[in-house]
Amino acid sequence: MNANATTADHEILTGSGFTEPAQDNRQPKTLSLRAKGIVAFILMTGYALLIGVSTEGQRQGLLRVVEELEHAHRVESQLLEINTSMARTLFAVNMSFSDDDLASSAIRSMIEIEASLSLMEAIKNRHPAVLMLSGKLHALVRDLAQSPSLGALGVTRATLNELILELDGITQTAHAKRLKLLDEYRENYDRITLSGLAMLVIGLILLGAATAIFFSRLTWDIRKLEAHAHDIVNGNRDTPLTVTRNDELGTLMRAVNRMQQDLRERERHIERSRLEQFHREKMVAVGSLAAQLAHEINNPIAAITGVASAISQVQRSQHCPNHGATCQPGLILEQAKRISLITRQIADFTRPQALEPELLNLNELVRNTCAFVSYDRRFRRITLNSELDGEMPAVRAIGDHLTQVLMNLLINAADALEEMPAEHQGTITTRTHASQHEAVIEIIDNGGGIDTKTLDRVFDEYFTTKPAGKGTGLGLALSRELVQDAGGSLTLDSTPGQGTVARITLPLRAVLSPA
C-alpha cells in the first residue's frame, strides 16, 4: 500500500489530518523587563556600595597614616626646639669659661640648662639615654649651684655635648620616620586614586557590555519575531519560533506561536470542511447521475427483459430445439438484471447520508463501498475478497466519514498493487470482526509493502511517495483524523515485500459527535 491515500481523482475527498503533538501548557516563570531593570539597578547599587566600602577602608588607612605623620611632625618640631635650646645652653656654658666672673656666668649657664631640661621632660621618658643624661645634668646643676668651678663647667659641657649628640640621633630618626610616613601617605593616596579609577572604569565597561549585550539580544529577538510574523503572513504554519526569553518579549513569542498554531488548525478545519462539502456534493451529483441513468436505462432494459421473456416462453411452449443452445434468452435476462442491480447499487451508495452519528451496519457499509470502488479501472486485475463477521454489532458513527476512509484505504491498496509486476496476482481482503469493546475493519493487500522509514511518516501532512499530480499526501492524514473523531484509531502495519494491513478500530458503545 502506498504512503498516499488516493490518486488525483480521489484526493478531493481528503483533507488535512495533522495531529498536534501534546504540548506542555505550563508557562515558564517570566522575569519582566521592568524586573530586569530593577535587578540591574540593584546590581549597580551593590557595585557602588562595594566601591564605597573598599574606598572607605583605604581612606581609613590613609587617615591613620596622616595622623601618624602629624604626630611625627610634632615630635620632630619638638626635637628641633630642644636641639636649638641645647645649642644655646652649650654656647652659654662655653662663654662661661672666658668670663672673669665665674659665679655670674655659672648662674646664667644653670638657667639655660634648667630651661633646656624643662623642654626635655616631654621626651626623656621615651629615651633612656636622654633620661640618664638629664639626671646627670640635674646633679651637675646642683654642684654648680653649691660651688662653681671650671672643672664642674667642663663636666657639664661634656655632658651637654653627649646629650646633644643623642638628641641629634633621635632627631634624625624622627625625621626619617616622618619621610617614610610621607612616602606611605603618597603611596596610599596613589593606590586609592588608581583603585577607585580602575573600579569605576571596570564598572563602566561591565555596565556598557551588559547594556550592549542586552539590547543587541533584544534587537535580534525582535527582528527574529518580525521575520517570523512575515513568514506566518506568507503562509508558514509548520515551524514555530524558538523561544529563548522569559520576559514580555518571550511571552509575545509564545503568543505568536499559539497564533500560528491556531491559524494552522483553523485553516486545516476550513480545508477539511470544504473538502467534505465537495465530497458530499460530488456524491450527490454521482447519485443524481446514477438515478437519471437508471431511469433512462430502465426503459430499454424493461423492453429487452420483456422481449427476452416472451422469446423464452415461446421457445418453452413450442419446444424450440435451439432454446438454451444458440438461442439464450435467459442470458439476456440475467445481464439485464445485472445492469439494473449495478445502477441501483450506485444510486444507493451515493444517496446523501446523515451528518450526525448514527447506528451503522459496518458489514453493509464495507460491502457497498467495495462494490462501488470495484468499478474503478485499477481494480480490473485485483481480486476483492470479503471476510465479514456475521455477528458484527452496530457501531455509532458518521457513515459518510467511514465511507471516505474506506475508499481512501482501498484505492491506496489498489495503487500499491498497480506498481507490482503484471504476473503478480493482486489481492485485497476486507475483513471485519468484533471484540467485547471494539469493532475492527482490516484492509489487507499483498503489495510491495512500506519500508520502516516511510511508514514512520505516512500520516504526516503533505508527505507522499507518489509522483506529482497523482497525490498530495493528505489522504491518510485526514483518514486518521476522521477515525479519531469517531473515537477510534487507524494504524498501518507493513512488511516490505509481503504487503500492508490497514486497521480501523472503532468503539462499540461510544456516543460520538461530528468533528
For residue 34, give Cα distances in angstroms to 37, 245, 251, 366: 5, 14, 14, 64
Residue 78: is its pLDDT beyond 50?
Answer: yes
The pLDDT > 90 percentage for the chain reads 3
* Amino acid 196: pLDDT: 83
Tell me the residue range of the domain where 115 lies: 33-220
> What tens digit of pLDDT does each residue of 127-137 get?
888 888 888 88
Reported as a single tens digit per residue, the pLDDT across 158-216 is 888 888 888 888 889 888 988 988 898 888 888 888 888 888 888 889 888 988 988 88
Q: Are residues 193 and 319 in the same domain?
A: no
The number of angstroms, rounded, from the C-alpha of 370 to the middle of its chain's C-alpha atoms is: 49
Mean pLDDT for the chain overall? 78
Rounded Cα distance between 481 and 10, Å, is 17
* Listed range (83-97, 235-249, 280-294, 427-441) with the worst mean pLDDT: 280-294
Average pLDDT for residues 375-398, to the nearest whole number?
A: 84
Name every residue whose Cβ is closer than 8 Å to that of residue 63 and which is 6 or more positions away in sequence: none
Instruction: Tell me how far apart the alpha carbons of residues 351 and 366 are, in angstroms, rounded to a whole number.
Output: 15
- The predicted-structure confidence for 83-123, as pLDDT tens digits, reads as follows 888 888 888 888 877 777 777 877 888 888 888 888 888 78
Q: Is residue 116 classed exposed, middle or buried when 0-12, 13-18 and 19+ CB atoms within 10 A define those classes?
A: buried
pLDDT tops 70 at residue 252: yes
Q: Any idea of the CA torsion for 35, 36, 41, 46, to the nearest 10 degrees?
A: 100
Residue 187 and residue 288 in one domain: no
The per-residue pLDDT for 466 is 66
Per the structure, the count of domains in the chain is 2
Regarding whether 332 and 210 lie in a shared domain, the answer is no
> pLDDT at position 437, please?
86
| CATH number of 483's domain | 3.30.565.10
Q: Which residues, at least 6 apart from 55, have a Cβ–Cβ distance to it below 8 Å?
A: 192, 195, 196
Least confident among 19-28, 207-216, 403-412: 19-28
Between 159 and 326, name the one with better pLDDT: 159
Judgement on whether residues 170 and 287 belong to the same structural domain of the protein: no
Clarify whether residues 377 and 501 are in a common domain: yes
> Confidence band (pLDDT; 50, 70, 90) for 469?
low
Mean pLDDT of 283-290: 66
Q: Residue 391: CB partners within 8 Å, gap ≥ 6?
A: 434
Residue 165 lies in a domain: yes
The answer to the question of residue 180 being in a domain is yes
233 found inside a domain: no
Give the C-alpha separation, 453 to 171, whole Å: 99
Would you say 430 and 385 are in contact if contact means Cβ atoms under 8 Å apart? yes
Q: What is the pLDDT of residue 5?
A: 38
pLDDT digit string, tens, across residues 426-464: 889 999 988 888 899 999 988 888 887 877 777 776 666
Distance in angstroms between the alpha carbons of the first and the last residue of the chain = 27
User: What whole-number distance in Å separates Cα of residue 431 and Cα of residue 388?
Assistant: 5
Residue 296 lies in a domain: yes
Q: Does 176 share its domain with 302?
A: no
Query: Is 25 a residue whose pLDDT tops 80?
Result: no
Q: What single string gives the DSSP state of each residue in 2-33?
A: -SSS--TTTGGG------PPP---PPPPP--H
Same domain, 54 and 162: yes
Asked, for residue 514, whether it belongs to a domain, the answer is no
Residue with cell string 550592549: 212
- Of 164, 194, 220, the residue at which a domain comes to its end is 220
Looking at the fold, whether 45 and 187 belong to one and the same domain comes out as yes
- Nearest 10 degrees: Cα torsion 46, 47, 52, 53: 70
| Domain match, 65 and 147 both | yes
Residue 470 lies in a domain: yes
**Residue at a domain's end among 220, 252, 279:** 220
What are the grid coordinates assigned to 137, written together?
645634668
Give residue 102's pLDDT: 74
Query: Is the pTM above the cut of 0.85?
Result: no
Give the mean pLDDT of 395-400: 84
